[in-house]
Chains A and B, each alone.
Chain A
Amino acid sequence: MTRNVNRIIGLILALLATGYLLLSYQLPTYDYIPVDADVIPKALGWLLLILSVALFFSKDQDSEEQKAKRHVAKKDVKAMAGVFGITLIYIMLLEVVGFIVMTSIFVFFCSLFLGYRQHVVNAIVSISFPIFIYSIFVFLLNINLPQGILPL
């Protein structure tokens, strides 16, 4: 089983290296330049290909602790996927809805989703932090964050 892990990763890396090499060989080159823009990428691509082959055939050296890290319970995978999904929605709507509103919603629902049940504290934190940060960025640092639907 442990050998399989290295084999699979080795294969993925070899594919990555091949793709990268294909693109490197398409880079335009010019005359009279001793080392053009394609040289380093080609070298890196070949190097990764060699290393991925080495990984494919290498024995696993991981400690027991490291192996234990690989076992992620199903409910944790779900929780992670949830956080990932909430973040995706946040990114998609950030510029439309605006920083303060969207970030408040994000912090509140992300914490709620992960099992935080003190709703009052959650509401206070998720409203006050974004306002505080918005003020620092916009008024102190003159960095404009998306204002969105709020008439600020």
Chain B
Amino acid sequence: MVACFGSDSGSDGGAYPARPIKLVVPFGPGGGSDTFGRIIKRGIDEAGLLPQPFVIINRPGGSATIGSRYVRDAKPDGYTLLLLHDAIITAKYSGKVNYGPEAFEPVASTGEIGMVIVVKDSSRFETLTQLLKECNEKPDTVTNGVNLGAPTHFAGLQLEQAFEGAKFRFTQSGDGADRVQKLVGDHIEVSSFSVSEYVGFKSQGIRAVAFLGEERCDALPEVATALEQGIDVVDYNRHYWWFPKGTPQECSEYIAGVLRKAMQTEHVRERLAELKMEPNFLQGHEFADYIDNQVAAAQTVGEQKKPDVPDIPTGVVWVLVVCAVAIILERRRPTIGSTAIDSPAIDSPAIDSPAIDSPVTDTPKASPATIRTVGLLAATAAYVFAMQYGVPFVWATLVFIPCGGFLLSQHKRSHALILVETSLLVAFGVQFVLTKIVVTDLP
């Protein structure tokens, strides 16, 4: 797997970065992290800070754990970067995954955004105090849309802690864009957003009741802080950059340097100012210490009980069993005039399956054909095995296509030359397209 032709670098020093660097954003587009990542990307691109393309890949889902796991498991070669805020800590302490910041190489921390508590424009809640009072009087009635185990969830938990007896009804509500839709559609009553998300979504009909900062936010002077309203909660969100564990220190330092410069570019400055995000920058020990503090804070809120949802997998398995029994019963019975969808004349067998052509399907399986098929599948499996254990793609393909073709053409000599030509064309063509034009690399 290591031998990626022409792109095997990273280890041989000065060449880094020799390939495009992938930035994994573990959230859907339009959210705070995605917006931030794209601002930095533009800063890097415009100032030409990286000699290679900087590519953003959204891998949303599982409260950012799908993306973070992807990066954790990626090759630590300095080409896969993760942009993830405190969710990297909260995911662990809510029992969602068994790894936290320790499973990554910290690169840097950039930017600092405040959090706001948000309701729909027409909501009866005017202030945070009013909201929490109702949560106290009628616990577990006010729905708070969060990403379970993510910072939005922890912001809610901190509010509960700060106001004796208040209880939200936490509801899994997905990413920022999802939560706005649910808020506006009256499916949830309260949610929390980062200031940049809030600024982006405000026009859709939502209103902040509190800013969880030490002082009022310049971007939202009309929004009172939680502290002003007598609720002792301060919660900031920072964007952290991570490499998979084991990535060479030089890569981390190189990228941290690029990010530091990117934060200074005019584009980034302007856009962060628009979002009222502080252009803070931490790297190295400073960053590591900061993370340790955040981990300690998360531990005090403690482990959450798992959400109470029905056991859907078991249900699906039962339905599957019932269907299987029904199929068996159905096929035992002699079929009486099966009235298909419409008319009996249209009894073509290929209507619901992608198998094409009617007349030929019924050919009895000739044994040479079966042998050929099994042979080809075995050849394919061997081809994949070979690449898994280090045979480069081009060589494997150059062998595989002529062999497969030879097998299928009943060993006709006349085909051999064309097959070899085809294999050359495909092997080098695919290699060129995928490694030079497309970002991915080949085995």
Are the chains A and B members of one assembly? no
**Residues on B facing A (Cβ under 8 Å):** none
**Residues on A facing B (Cβ under 8 Å):** none
